Structure 1
Amino acid sequence: MIDPQISEWISQLLRWVHVITAIAWIGSSFYFIHLDLSLKKRDGLAPGVGGEAWQVHGGGFYNMRKYLVAPPEMPKELTWFKWESYSTWITGFFLLVWVYYLHADLYTVDPAVRALASWQVPLIGIGGIALSWLVYEGLCRSPLGRNDVALGCFLFLYILVAAFVFRHLFSGRAAFLHTGAMIATWMSASVFFVIIPNQRKVVADLLAGRSPDPALGKQAKQRSTHNNYLTLPVLFLMLSNHYPLAWSSRYAVGIVGCILIAGAIVRHFFNSQHAGKGSPWWTWAVAAAAIVVAIWLSIIGKPGNENTADIQNGATSATLAAAFDDAVLAVQSRCSMCHAAEPAWDGISIAPKGVRLDTPENILRHADLIRVQAVLTHAMPPNNITEMTLEERKVVATWLAQKDAAVR
């Protein structure tokens, strides 16, 4: 068994490298989308040049030109933007394995959803993601793929169906993560299997003096467009594991749909602006409405719906003290094996996120975190691995409600 301290460092380093490579991939992608849309046709450009743009950065001026086919002579050195994508996917895959498969009992298997064996988790997760790529690839190459709007609508529905399936197999946290990993796989696999190979074929044809097949460029452009519009939703899904209000909701699939709409519509705004087609400010209203609906769904769908009105009305200093004592007993018995100065849970060497709940003072200090994680969302203990009962959660809810009433 790996030492818990080494395990923690491996997780930290994997996440660090993954974020670095993701920044590089998304940054270069957004830059080239902006560049491509901002190119202008001007008099005096060389034959074959479709447009140019002047840019200034870091004290230097850059003259960027785009050849619609290829320059008269191919340069000796040609930079291929692919390793950012590959590195992001590879590090993300190892992080998925390290966190959600090797620690499936903590983060992926929720007995209240489905009592899976640990060995079943990677088979379902990896198998589902691989199958989704085959479906995505088939749809793009099918007659449906010739209609971008129809294909986009179908893919939207497919993502919701996949999120629904994951939600009924894994914990809410893992379901969101696997939905994001599925989309990210489409994006990176498109670069590996379609965009880069098609570009290589075009270059080979040009070097051989042949006319490239225009279908190659059209196919690559379609995948690039999908990547453009899916980037922001993927980022939300990947970051959501830290924020349980979204993934713990009964309407988590609806929240995924809202985020897909909000992320795509925001990208449409910037695409239109970069292309000089105006600034469709209405998109921000649509995106804001989608986010508001997502927040509403998270609130009405949260698992912790204890009614605390009567508790608050009857709160006194004596009842508050008694409620706090009961809450301390519940929290310490279900949470302090991990959230302590010296965690007793195997594989954990330091209290997660530095949150200690081993003394009444520490419990009081982290009251707001306890409210979100154990009362409003039931996200903690993870997958309820310590079997915290609904009665114990109500005890904590009672204390928090009386605490709020005492403050007022």
Structure 2
Amino acid sequence: MAGILSNLKSTVIAGFILTVIMVVVVVAITGEGMPGGSDWIAFLWRWLHVLSAVMWIGILWYFNFVQIPSMPKIPDEQKPAISKVIAPAALFWFRWAAMATIITGLLLAHDSGYLGQALTLGLLDGVAKHTAIGIGMWLGLIMWFNVWFVIWPNQKIALGIVDAEADAKAASARKAMLFSRTNTLLSFPMLYAMVSAQNIY
């Protein structure tokens, strides 16, 4: 077991295998939940959407609740460990988790038949669920845009991935931080809208 847990790739593969075993056991015991059909495909998109969103928002909150507030407390000689190793790796998973969240969310909405209604905030059909999920979708799209077109380009400058003067690095770091904080602010109503659409309306 230690061999599996000491390697991230092995841990992730084992997690997926354990999930398959769980599905087989539940189907064997209850006779329900057999993979297949359009409902199961929609569920699969939802599961992948939630997995991606947990990664995306988890890293967003790590940046805002842990890394950014901790940076002033880290001695200058230790800061390159963050800026050269940890932050670039975290930003890789951060931006691609954002992409996966958006793609799986749009596929889920399309396959479930409410993409158009949600993107128009339920104004065409007056369904509260479409309004709620639509608000969540638009907030998610704004957050995705911020990740790919503001935060990541500015972080590349701030972290020295792209050559820039010291003043430009400082300005880019501040801009990336402010948009990261914007996404943190938006994450609360976005998550409420998404969860309420599935549980209240």
TM-score, structure 1 normalization = 0.35
Using the alignment, how far apart are the partners of 2:72 and 2:153 within structure 1? Answer: 28
The one of 35, 41, 44 equivalent to 2:73 is 41
| Structure 1 residues 260-318: Cα deviation after superposition (integer angstroms, max 9, x where no partner) | xxxxxxxxxxxxxxxxxxxxxxxxxxxxxxxxxxxxxxxxxxxxxxxxxxxxxxxxxxx
Deviations 1:122-152 (A, max 9, x none): 3x755x5xxxxxxxxxxxxxxxxxxxxxxxx
Q: How does 1:86-97 map to 2 (within 5 A)?
A: 86-97=99-110
Which of 29, 40, 58 is 1:9 aligned to?
40
Structure whose alpha-carbon radius of gyration is higher: 1
Give the AA of the match of 1:92.
Answer: G
The count of aligned residue pairs is 158
Q: CA RMSD in A?
A: 2.9
- SS of the residue corresponding to residue 82 of structure 1 reads helix
Match of 2:196 in 1: 240
221 and 46 in structure 1: CA distance in 2 versus 1, 3 angstrom threshold: closer
Q: Structure 1 residue runs of 4+, over 3 Å off?
A: 46-50
The residue aligned with 1:22 is 53
Aligned-pair CA distance for 1:193: 0.9
Q: Does 1:99 align with 2:112?
A: yes
- Structure 1 residue 230: Cα displacement: 1.8
- Structure with more of its chain in helix, by fraction: 2
Note if contact 1:26-1:231 (Cα within 8 Å) is conserved in structure 2.
Answer: yes
Q: How far apart, CA to CA, are the structure 1 residues paired with 2:99 and 2:164?
A: 31
SS at match of 1:169: coil
Separation (CA, whole Å) in 1 of partners of 2:48 and 2:128: 25
2:166 pairs with 211, 214, 222, which one? 211
Hey, what does 1:230 align to over in structure 2? 186
Counterpart Cα distance in 1 of 2:108 and 2:56: 17
Alignment of 1:1-400 (within 5 A): 6-35=37-66, 36-39=68-71, 41=73, 45-47=75-77, 49=79, 66=82, 78-79=88-89, 80=92, 81-101=94-114, 122=116, 126=119, 166-170=121-125, 171-202=127-158, 203-205=160-162, 208=163, 210-211=165-166, 213=168, 214-244=170-200, 247=201
Distance 1:47 1:38, change over 3 A: closer
Identity %: 27
Counterpart-to-counterpart distance in 1, 2:157 and 2:58:
26
* Residues 136-177 of structure 1 deviation map (CA, whole Å, 9 limit, x = unaligned): xxxxxxxxxxxxxxxxxxxxxxxxxxxxxx353231111111
Q: Shift of the alpha carbon at 1:223?
A: 1.4
Ranges in structure 1 where 5+ consecutive residues have no aligned partner: 51-64, 102-120, 129-165, 248-408
Tell me the amino acid that sits aligned with residue 168 of structure 1: L
Cα drift, residue 78 of structure 1: 4.0
Q: Which runs of 5+ in 2 are unaligned?
A: 1-35
1:100 touches 1:174 (CA, 8 Å); kept in 2?
no
